[in-house]
Amino acid sequence: MKIWFTLLFVTLLLACSIRVLAQPQSSAPATKTSNSAVPKKVKSNDGEQRFQANCGRCHTPPEAISPREVKAVLQHMRVRAMLSAEDEQLILKYLAP
Amino acid sequence: MKRTLATLITFLGIATSVCAQSDVPILSGALAFNSSATAGVTTFQPTLAPVLVAPIGDHWLFEGRAQLLGFFFQQNGTSGPYTGQFFATLDYAQVDYIANPNLTITVGRFLTPFNIYNERFSAVWIANLQDSPIIFTIGTRTSASSNGGMLRGVVIERPNWLLNYTAYFSALQTTENLQAGRAAGGRIGMFLPKAGIEVGASYQRFLQNRNYNVAGTYFAWQPPQIPLDVRAEYAHSLGGQGYWLEGAMRIAKSRGTTTWLGRLQTVARVQQFFKGTPTPQDVLPSADVNQFDFGLNYYLPHDVRLNGSYGRAYSSTGNANIWNVQIAYRFLFPAWPGEHK
């Protein structure tokens, strides 16, 4: 029985730690960005300029990108749309500061 | 029991670190329904095009896109009951290794990087006009995808310009839904971010049936001050040559405008094709063609887009009207659940 209590305690502890670890990313500013109001609070001029210059070359950006998705989106675009490493980093900081 | 506990803790520890990562895989793509009438023949095409992107650390990436297409038409062309077929194709399924800022190595099935329409503008939720340009098949035979290896990257980056390159080899593949031609080629492009200009050139040596050279150039311009997109391509092969020039303008002061009128985009495209020497399995028109298209796109909220276009093709084999109406929904979400505020 003790073992089950220990197991339950450890599981709860780890579940909480998942939540805590996930928190800083999900609560970051502009967590969910809107195309029409792309993170105004966290504007980095370089990042915004690169975003405008690169992403709009082919398409209108999606209405919302969460920080969890940004890295995958940017790596995908780095390969597909030939983003430079510098562009990738600046846009990443702009969208998921 | 201790062993079970240790295993469980290890498993949960791994789960913790995985869940804490920001680079979760994403599922993107589009769901679309297209109605087309070409020379009086009406077809309906529902399409689902899912894209999976899975980063593995900072250097590895898996990305894939499939197309599930329905094609419904009248049995006798312009009369009779409707009948339909479903197709599934794999556009790309590639593993990328981002070695350094100048080099990415790709292995697997990838979109053939000839000019830029195939790689960047052909997706159903991106193309301004739903019909591909006539010269689309030049340089992208046999299926617009290649099976093999590719090197690509940015060679030089300066504040005012950037030079990129692509080189690839594709092996012959005849398996249904995974077809590819045997070919080798490359592309070099320059991007001027401040002027919003992109120019480049492509070359390919098609290495099956009858070896021949294919070449092309492209141009794209997005003046930063106005929401105008200009795109153009020229391509030449043994089977023919041609070009297309497209302009798209948002009825707004800027691209981000979301007023009801600002969501409207007008599109116009002109294209000419000049027939060359017929080649085996050529999918190019059998005669010269001149065509213009005019369309309207409306960007609704929630990544839904409405398209309507009219085109007229002039050819010695017969002139034709081309009508297209489409609704497309683009989706993007993490491939597994989690915080998504």
Q: Note the pLDDT tens digit of each residue in B291-322.
A: 999 999 999 999 999 999 999 999 999 999 99
In a domain, A54, yes or no: yes
Are the beta carbons of B23 and A71 separated by less than 8 Å?
yes
Among the listed residues B202, B222, B204, B224, the one whose alpha carbon sits nearest the alpha carbon of residue B212: B204
Which of B98, B332, B336 is most worth mutating to test chain A (most A CB atoms within 10 A of its CB)?
A: B332
**A42 min Cα distance to partner chain B (Å):** 17
Is residue B37 predicted with pLDDT exceeding 70?
yes
Mean of pLDDT values over B220-233:
94
Is residue A19 domain-resident? no
Report the pLDDT value the prediction gives residue B245, as an integer from 0 to 100: 98
Tokens 């043994």 identify what position?
Answer: B238
Phi-psi category of A32—alpha, beta or left, where left has phi over 0 and alpha has psi -120 to 50?
Answer: beta
Q: Which domains are delineated in chain B? A: 23-334 (2.40.160.10)
pLDDT digits (tens, 9 = 90+) for A55-92: 888 888 888 888 888 989 999 999 999 899 999 999 99
- On whether residue A80 sits in a domain, the answer given is yes
**Alpha-carbon distance B82 to B64, whole Å?**
32
Which positions in chain A touch B222 (Cβ < 8 Å)?
56-57
Contact predicate B152/B165, CB 8 Å: yes
Using one digit for the tens of pLDDT, what is the confidence trace for A19-47? 333 333 333 333 444 444 344 444 457 88
Tokens 């009086």 locate to B40
Q: How far apart are CA A6 and CA A11, in angstroms?
A: 8
Q: How close B40 comes to chain A (CA, Å)? A: 31
| Domain membership of residue A54 as a residue range | 30-95
DSSP character for A34?
Answer: B
pLDDT band of residue B330 (cuts 50, 70, 90) is very high
| Phi and psi angles of residue B102, each rounded to the nearest 5 degrees, phi first | -105, -10
Residues of chain A by 3-state class (helix, strand, coil), percent to 5: 65, 0, 35
A window 29-48, beta carbon within 8 A of B: 31-32, 35-36, 38
Query: Which of B121, B126, B157 is facing A84, going by the closest CB pair?
Result: B157
Whether residue A10 lies inside any domain: the answer is no
A86, containing H or E segment: helix A85-95
**Tens digit of each residue's pLDDT (9 = 90 or more) over B118-169:** 999 999 999 999 999 999 999 998 889 999 999 999 999 998 999 999 999 9
Q: Decide if A35 is inside a domain.
A: yes
What the block records as the tokens of A5 is 């209590």
Structure tokens at A87: 């562009």
Confidence category of residue B204, pLDDT binned at 50, 70, 90: very high
Contacts of B109 in chain A (CB under 8 A): none
ipTM: 0.84
Q: Is A83 within a domain?
A: yes
How many structural domains does chain A have? 1
CA B290/CA B1 separation, integer angstroms: 77
Tell me if A5 is assigned to some domain. Answer: no
* Structural domain contains residue A43: yes
Q: Does B164 touch chain A (CB under 8 A)?
A: yes
pTM to 2 decimals?
A: 0.83
> Which residues of chain A lie closer than 8 angstroms to B8, CB-CB?
7, 10-11
B208 to chain A, closest Cα gap in Å:
27
What would the two tokens of residue B270 be?
């002109």
Greater model confidence, B288 or B21: B288
Contact indicator for A9, A16 with CB cutoff of 8 Å: no
Euclidean distance between CA atoms B34 and B30, whole angstroms: 12
Q: B205 — contact with chain A (CB < 8 Å)?
A: no
Residues 108-127 of B with CB under 8 A from A: 119-121, 123, 125-126
Residue appearing with tokens 């009248």: B74
